[in-house]
Chains A and B, each alone.
Chain A
Amino acid sequence: MSENAETDAEETNADGAAEDTTGDGATADDAADAPEAVIDAGVGAGGGRMREFVESEILARFGDGSARVGLGALEDGSVHSVEGDIVLTTDTHVVDPPVFPGGDIGELAISGTVNDLAMMGATDPIALTCGLIVEAGTPESLVTDVLDSMAAAADRVGVEISTGDTKVMGAGEIDRIAINTTGIGRVTGEPLQAARLEAGDRIVVSGPIGEHGLAVLSAREGFDFGGDLASDVAPVNDLVRAAMAAGTVRTATDPTRGGLAMALNEFASSADAGIAVEERAIPISEAASAAGEVLGIEPLDVANEGVAVFGVAPDDADAVVDALREAGAPDATIVGEVLTDHPGRVVLDTGIGRRYLAEPTGEQLPRIC
């Protein structure tokens, strides 16, 4: 079976805890010493407890799709029939906290991989994998909530999760939960690539910038922006499909780690062209802007999980923006243009002066002093 059970987890007495995890439940109202159901090493140990977990928690959620041999067969892999060019992508997700305003790591894992496929032009993914690594002692409810989110996000896209793997690590060996998702999708036509950008192309963003990164950082730092600031995590393959249908899209990217600043610098260096951006044209919500000020973090430097950035042929830019707005991205807008000057660099017009927009250096940490 693909939910293979190799594990380095030390032998653990999967007695009491194991029974608790299947029990119907300690609730918060129970006596203080009622143990909360947690993932124990037994889940990863490959025995009956493992099979029970896979059947009750994984198969029940991810089910079977169009694969010739799917997850339900519990074979060593799934089998798919495909023709033409395939995009293959993988991403491993860790986020602190794993549940944040607007989403959780499960939705993030599915969206991230669906979006990576879409950014290459594969807007209708074929199948995803789910590699789940859980720290022993993690509340089982956190894991099942995350699996629920994964199932819901995959449903929304219409993609199946057709193979996977579960490991349980010892306490302290990882932080609660990590998820790897690999995806395959079919690309028809030219793959989208930054190297295809040409001078004069317009840069289009599909939505407000900075929401995810600032929501997560705010949650981590214990700031509450009154519910106004939530992650934008979502699959955006439908937006990419709409954009590609409306005009010549040369490249697309989802500005995740490193944010818009990183994405634009990557465009500039791959295309060996300059990129001019109007800072005031970039949609940024009031809440994100306020959180950025409080935390001392630039919204342009933080991850977005439900935004696509496009390089579009100049004559098609307006049509692409209209199509994006119609497809559910009301804030879609043109923010910049590809230049012949300043090859490899991004020039930001702040409305007052001009400077280079640098790639963020390292992890974005809130100001401490």
Chain B
Amino acid sequence: MAASTDRDLQFRDPEKAEQLSDRLEELMAEIDGRVDVMHVCGSHEQAIAKFGLRSVLPDGLSVRMGPGCPVCVTDMPEVDEAVALAEDGKIVTTYGDMLKVPGTAKSLADARDEGADVRVVYSASEAAEIAAETDEDVVFFATGFETTAAPTAAVLADDPPANFSILSAHKYVPPAMEVVAEMPDTNVDAFLAAGHAAVITGSGIFEEFVDEYEIPTVVGGFEPLDILLGLVKILEFVRDDEAGLANAYPRCVTEDGNVPAKEALWEVFETTRGEWRGIAEIPDADLALRDEYAQYDAREIFDIDAAYEDEQDPLTAKCISGDIMAGKADPDECELYGEECTPENPVGASMVSSEGTCKIWLEYGGHPDL
């Protein structure tokens, strides 16, 4: 039979992987201490878990996931707003991963089971197409980081139907990195920044961050060799005690990023203060519609009544997903992990999304000492 070319891709070459992990060993020997790297992307976590990369990392080098799952950081009241809109008879559209994310009292999937019109779409433009075909109000529950915010912006800038609006839960990553870097009990020596957000914003976006917080930052891709190479660059910075910025994913990321997409993003959105689920309230890390786009802002158009505070599921209080995203805990430290909390019956958002650490760990067999 034909061998799978996919698995033989050059970026999955075992020999090169071994050379890179040898290089990591050498660098760690030179550093002679512990190094904590945080990455900020579910796709990084997925690749690390899927390829068993942690088993080839040298002792003392820890790589863990930060607030890199857009579904996980969508705050409960934001889900509540979407649920309230759906229960109020609007057609609520959103990405599939959002359906099961628990709100205070229920998820969009629960609302749908009770008869609300909640539809899964693959893009903001698909949601706008639904609006074009109906007279009813169609709300797009817009979640995700720069990568999905830019396409949402493009749809809004392109004169969508008047019955179309968005409930923005879009979030902007760099300010969240600042907050996590500053947390007293989080130890982050370096960041492996997310390749696909940087495709839009460019690697240059992190310059200020690196200068101000003096934390080495390397933009990394998602193949095993990309990640190992990113870690090599990180350890070189750490060894040289240099707070540098490097792009280890140049085949996709440029310094300036995708300029038209970036322009559309900032034409439509502005940053605002917002709560990241389980982590903190972060200045300038939520993306809200600018006044010029108020006619598409569900929060402006509708009187959203989402008050569920009293009915919160007691299990939710036990979810340590916030600590996991702040780099303070691993999923298997959660008492509900894999028992009360599973992908079918998620307690926290980290068990819902394919970008969530808890789900990824469960799917790929945890973080074993192998």
Contact surface of A with B, Cβ cutoff 8 Å: 208, 279-280, 283-286, 289-290, 293, 296, 298, 330-331, 345, 347-358, 360-362, 367-369
Q: Closest chain A residue to B47 by CB distance?
A: A352
Which residues from B are CB-within-8-Å of A353?
Answer: 17, 51-56, 224
Contact with A along B42-61 (1 / 0, CB 8 A): 00000001111111100000
Q: Determine if B1 and A350 form an interchain contact, defined as CB atoms under 8 angstroms apart.
A: no
Contact residues of B between 141 and 175, Cβ < 8 Å to A: none
Known contacts: A286-B2, A361-B342. The answer to whether A369 contacts B122 by CB under 8 A is: yes
Q: Determine if A355 and B56 form an interchain contact, defined as CB atoms under 8 angstroms apart.
A: no
Q: Closest chain B residue to A331 by CB distance?
A: B1
Q: Which of B202-210, B320-328, B358-366 contacts A (4 or more CB under 8 A)?
A: B358-366
Q: Closest chain B residue to A279 by CB distance?
A: B7
Closest 9 A/B residue pairs (Cβ): A368-B96, A356-B365, A353-B52, A355-B52, A369-B95, A358-B365, A289-B4, A353-B55, A354-B370
Q: Closest chain A residue to B95 by CB distance?
A: A369
Number of interface residues of B (CB under 8 A): 38
Interface contacts (Cβ under 8 Å), in number, total 100
Known contacts: A286-B6, A330-B1, A362-B342. The answer to whether A368 contacts B120 by CB under 8 A is: yes
Q: Determine if B122 and A368 form an interchain contact, defined as CB atoms under 8 angstroms apart.
A: yes
Known contacts: A353-B55, A355-B370. The answer to whether A362 contacts B343 by CB under 8 A is: yes
CA distance A208 to B368 in the complex (A): 28
CA distance A127 to B122 in the complex (A): 48
Q: Determine if A355 and B55 form an interchain contact, defined as CB atoms under 8 angstroms apart.
A: yes
Does chain A have a CB within 8 A of B12? yes
CA distance A352 to B48 in the complex (A): 10
Known contacts: A352-B17, A352-B56, A361-B362. The answer to whether A285 contacts B1 by CB under 8 A is: yes
Which residues from B are CB-within-8-Å of A360?
Answer: 363
Does chain A have a CB within 8 A of B14? yes
The listed residue (B96, B120, B368) touching A355 by CB distance below 8 A is B368
Known contacts: A290-B6, A353-B55, A362-B342. The answer to whether A283 contacts B368 by CB under 8 A is: no
The listed residue (A279, A283, A354) touching B1 by CB distance below 8 A is A283
Q: Determine if B370 and A208 form an interchain contact, defined as CB atoms under 8 angstroms apart.
A: no
Which residues from A are CB-within-8-Å of B4?
Answer: 284-286, 289
Which residues from A are CB-within-8-Å of B51?
Answer: 350, 352-353, 355
Which residues from B are CB-within-8-Å of A351?
Answer: 7, 12, 14, 17
The listed residue (B12, B54, B71, B343) touching A361 by CB distance below 8 A is B343
Does chain A have a CB within 8 A of B354? yes
Q: How far in angstroms is the closest Cβ of chain A from B330?
A: 15
The listed residue (B71, B354, B366) touching A356 by CB distance below 8 A is B366
